[in-house]
Structure 1
């Protein structure tokens, strides 16, 4: 056998042994034999660099250094899941699903919800091409070199797979590996890691992939997304992924009704404590992909999936003191400082008390023994006080009357839950918080500038608002603590590059109260530029799709403020984008202008996304549900019965794929 064939044979053997050991948990050779074969392959590859393959088993040991992780946009957005905490909430979700789909037989795929770091991995021609962290769901960090060191993730697939697709999974750290890592740290006098989830997430951003390779990370896959997939349901997809070589948890189950879903939840609520990984709930998905397409997505979550969270673990501890934090909008948040206690895998020292009403409702007092749990397994909160352990001389908590930062008297609106510091332009945490929001990833995404640096610039009298960032020079930055020449250059360059950020994100960055990402997009699309928006009346704003009175009033108040107008004028003079840049499609027409379409069913020639894009490119609007405002229903095979019934009832024309092609090819 020649060297090239020997190298290829060894690679295939070692890939199979890796799969047997890390995925199937049934090794067929000893570690010693595996290491000998790996060493033989390494020597052959060194002698014959012309046969190098980035996906060779020898590359799993890592060694590449990544100084800056490149930001990559996901081909398919990574949505978050809606949470539920009771059977009643799951039944309500099922009713919402059936309302859209009509009287159809539903099956559900039940999967355990593992607590790790989400990852999206792209495969091309069966080879691992790229791995990207979840990030904000729209874009994440390219961590391919680090992901390749995780032996449960196949570098080369087997079987009959599509040319290209993405697989979604959770990078986790098993309890045994986590405890071993902590024991090694304790032995050398270092501080142990706080919990497996954060350690797994942090591992993905280590610069040296050889260090990642030393960590016992695992990867559990739960979803495949792409075009022309060879299966039609979630459960079938899991089975197929397992055959291709992915590690898919065997605990997943197909449920034929909600009663079987409840049985799955009840079983794993007890048995989860015997699992080798952290798990905090169950994910329930409508099994049929066709049904999933019919249901679609909200702005944040798929309508066809929901997470059921297991009841949170509770502990009791002592409340040592209460401190008060000031947010960027001036909202005051009381924080409980606790005697440190172990809770759900982490050491908890602080918990949110939300507002004055919550403190009064629970009658929380300093020195009390309190019960703490993690709300949704994320943020610790106090749920009750152990009155039997209360000291006789305890005093009722008096909520502060003045801002802890600037001593301004606090205000509280009639319908507001929080107290606010009204010193909008003079209270340091508010000023710093607004600038930190302005530079954040979803807003201006200014590279080289982080939250701590913002505070440093403010405390050294270099910035008082976010417009000041555009006048800061390298010479001003260099004398500051921890600021080297390269850091100063990157900061100034990052600020300059932010002038290319589109209007919708600039609008979000301004920090107008109640104007989040989605609202900013709606306003930018409707008004096109800041000048038109700033002159809009209350009634004009309310008439914009999905803009309510509370948001409209907040926008009016923002632009009525002279200081805000002055800052916007300065940003405008620096070249920040305050106008929507229309992307011209050379093939676009206005033939569908004023027409609203609902797309439903399975199509032969085009994907749903292609059809929706064609509607918008030709001036039309895509609706998510059928109403009296719908002009046409573009229907494919197996159109949802509920939509069909509603279209017929409202006498809305139902057109085919061919009808639509003729429609957009017509000349006026």
Structure 2
């Protein structure tokens, strides 16, 4: 990155041209111990001015003066000085890094109503807007418009007093919004201090958004960590601004464009027309003024001499839409003259002087912005396409599965290609085909796990990370599953809390859960916890140290071993050690376990990393032997269940197995009965029909059990 040797003084907003930290700064700083308080304060002032200028040039003008690493060195030096000499400054750039947690969002009344605007995607509606404007104006001969992109983000009001940032609020109901002052303070394109000669009080309207490239990068990071990606940049921005954890807000790549003035108060000074002195007469003039104050103003705004020119602007912007690094869904056309705006006035919820000319929704065909490989709980690697958000059946889709490496090769897809997206079964988005390729070859699937760098293994079309519970991605998901209802049902250990514990270094693998009692103070000190929550979690974990064998096997998250298979394993082998040491042939003898599942179970226990974790876990957990006494009233009968019964399906499975029957998960020629509850699936019923398996509703199931002296629901056995 080239750095200019000097910069035009007229081009600066926050720093003097002779500021030593402006261009080619020397980052070989003197030791803090060699400075006195006066020298430190003077150096800190120069650093703050320079960093404000660098923020403005980088975020508002996309014209940086120095390299990123140099900026980081300046910022770190300022933090060092402020800490060492207690140099507090309310508008210091270092306040943007976030930290702390807000208890709740307060409410703020806006300086002026933040009203909506009428909108349409039809050119004739835009022309009708122009006709209404001309009808209602006394002087309609010379009506010019301003045109600008309609940003797809979250609208906010930001207030400055004497040039200093004091408050920010969401739009809310247009008159009162949520107080997001501290959240917006973390956005680097929002200056803490205005440049130039701003009015005494300035209230401006802006749009908070996430740039498209930053959105894709952030989603990539979330997917690699096993978290759900955001659906689109707008949802991500809106959700972030309402976060109470300021550090989480600061970590997300928010930006902001300013595009309207809500209040301009010069302290009583007015011009000949009674307006605040120095306030521009036109909207385009206002935007220029906001830019001169250092506010981030979009460079695509321009004037239009009439409505046809405004329509042409929208069409041009539609053609350029895909090249922009921010989401827009149309253009906003405004009467440019402020006096004419005041004459037109407002309606109850919208203004009469502006109109949004919307773009058509994107449908089905979109661009692959990135491909990221997600590591699942069982180690399976799934490629995911991150997409330019597109409308598919009324749902905004920003990612789609690519299934496996073979599917990528079959589609011939790579980053940058235009693809058609469909929703499989109206649920899971997937790439159906490449419409236009912009790459020479398909995406090259990685040879290493993207999380732990272990060399991946292939199993047919699938790819796996063999590192098991030692892989951080698998370990985190394993802890979530272990604590879930499908595992040991440890209350208070959901996905977010497990992530928080991992980030704090308290829980890396399953055995760490049982060491939390030794780190009670660290647990209690976490944001949102406290002593009561810490004690509750520790009690919940301690209550899981003697689980039923079937529950423990299900909690380990072995691929293909759900609750039913875990019960069969527990009843067949009786103890955990017997299950753990069983060979493939022994495992294959268990009901509902074939050769494939037997091999999966054997591989899980033989994986060295898993074995180490389990050995450690058994120091704290004692799975209880299965001593279920089974009768033989239903011996040799095989049941499959589908749909909802009056009692949990797992209870029905346990009951028939306790009396000698088999309860399997799929219908085959060996199935004797398919028990059908409410809202059943279709596949099992189709399989039952194909294999001539009789269906029983719950009443018929109860009658069958009664014939064998078994009551339904459990507890109704005959004497």
> For this structure pair, what is the TM-score category when the shorter chain's length is used for normalisation?
0.3 to 0.5
TM-score norm. by structure 1 comes to 0.48
Q: Scaled by the length of structure 2, what TM-score is found?
A: 0.44
Q: Which of these two proteins has the greater Rg computed from alpha carbons?
A: 2
**Higher RCO, 1 vs 2 (CA within 8 Å, ≥6 residues apart):** 1
